[in-house]
């Protein structure tokens, strides 16, 4: 069971209003290992993104085999969104940093329906944004085993995600759970009546996405 000492305070992430994310485009990339816990975390992130005003059509979900692949996927997804934006010159560009060039991208398959909730069947009258992603949420679950594999993957993934966000200048929300057992993961994914950390990650993405837009204009408010 997750200790109350490690749950967010009532004022945590209070800056994200219900309309904050209306002009944001957010990506979620998740690992397929420990898919039940990952699915719950992805659902929590989507829930808070929608509650914060991000439109359904502006949430892009992709999956990769494991957590080790998350940094590369984040890098390639953002690069792909930049190329998409440059191919749509009439669309708005959200930040000066989005004009940076990048290398060629690799193909990323669409996610299996196991982790992302079904798309809204009703068609939106508003076309999805073609801007580079405002923020990317990387989600994975690592459970410690009998070997050093856990430590190597956790360390490499953590450093990789930090490097990607600093190199690209886009917020990468750290959604990697590093667990001693599955019980800890079920609690943090909200599967046993506890708080779902994925909801926090969605709100973080919105807050940082909005602040990034403001900072790119040379402002602080």
3-class secondary structure per residue, 170-191 = CCEEEEEEEECCHHHHHHHECC
- Residue 118: predicted pLDDT: 45
Per-residue model confidence as pLDDT tens digits over 19-49: 589 999 999 999 999 999 999 999 999 999 9
Q: Which two tokens stand for residue 164?
A: 């990607």
- Residue 115: predicted pLDDT: 57
User: 102 falls in which pLDDT band (50, 70, 90)?
Assistant: very low
Q: Are strands 59-64 and 172-179 parallel, antiparallel or unpaired?
A: unpaired
The neighbouring-strand residues paired with 61 are: 28
**Residue matched to tokens 């997750």:** 2
Q: Which two tokens stand for residue 61?
A: 């979900």
Instruction: Report the largest interatomic distance among the alpha carbons of the chain, rounded to a whole angstrom.
Output: 54
Residues noted as catalytic: 149
Higher pLDDT, 3 or 139: 139
φ, ψ of residue 54 to 5 degrees: the values are -70, 130
Q: Check pLDDT > 70 for residue 15.
A: no
Mean pLDDT on 79-97: 72
Per-residue model confidence as pLDDT tens digits over 165-176: 999 999 999 999
- Residue 5: predicted pLDDT: 41
User: 126 falls in which pLDDT band (50, 70, 90)?
Assistant: confident
Q: Report pTM.
A: 0.81
Mean pLDDT on 121-145: 85
User: 14 falls in which pLDDT band (50, 70, 90)?
Assistant: low
3-class secondary structure per residue, the chain = CCCHHHCCCCCCCCCCCCCCCCCCCEEEEEECCCHHHHHHHHHHHHHHHHHCCCCHHHEEEEEECCHHHHHHHHHHHHHHHHHHHHCCCCCCCCCHHHHCCCCCCCCCCCCCCCCCCCCCCCCCCCCCCCCCCCEEEEEEEEECCCCCHHHHHHHHHHHHHHHHHHHHCCCEEEEEEEECCHHHHHHHECCCCCCEHHHHHHHHHHHHHHHHHHHHCCCCC
Q: Check pLDDT > 90 for residue 62.
A: yes
- Residue 221: predicted pLDDT: 83
φ, ψ of residue 148 to 5 degrees: the values are -80, 0
Share of the chain above pLDDT 70, in %: 75
- Residue 121: predicted pLDDT: 39
Q: Check pLDDT > 50 for residue 162.
A: yes
CB atoms within 10 A of CB 120: 11
User: 101 falls in which pLDDT band (50, 70, 90)?
Assistant: very low
Higher pLDDT, 123 or 127: 127
**Residue matched to tokens 């190597």:** 152
Mean pLDDT on 82-95: 71
């Amino acid at each position: 069971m997750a200790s109350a000492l490690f749950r967010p305070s009532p004022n945590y992430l209070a800056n994200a209003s219900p309309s904050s994310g209306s002009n944001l485009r957010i990506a979620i990339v998740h690992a397929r290992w420990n898919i039940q816990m990952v699915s719950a975390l992805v659902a929590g992130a989507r829930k808070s993104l929608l509650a914060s005003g991000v439109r359904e059509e502006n949430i892009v979900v992709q999956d990769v085999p494991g957590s080790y692949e998350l940094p590369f996927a984040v890098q390639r997804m953002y690069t792909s969104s930049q190329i998409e934006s440059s191919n749509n010159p009439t669309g708005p560009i959200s930040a000066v940093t989005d004009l940076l060039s990048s290398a060629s991208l690799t193909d990323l398959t669409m996610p299996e329906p196991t982790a992302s909730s079904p798309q809204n069947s009703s068609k939106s009258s508003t076309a999805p944004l073609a801007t580079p992603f405002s923020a990317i949420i990387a989600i994975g679950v690592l459970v410690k085993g009998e070997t050093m594999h856990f430590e190597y993957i956790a360390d490499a993934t953590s450093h990789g995600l930090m490097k990607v966000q600093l190199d690209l200048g886009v917020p990468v929300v750290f959604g990697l759970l590093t667990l001693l057992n599955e019980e800890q993961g079920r609690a943090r994914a909200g599967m046993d009546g506890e708080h779902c950390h994925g909801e926090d990650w969605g709100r973080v993405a919105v807050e940082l996405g909005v602040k990034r837009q403001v900072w790119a204009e040379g402002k602080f408010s």
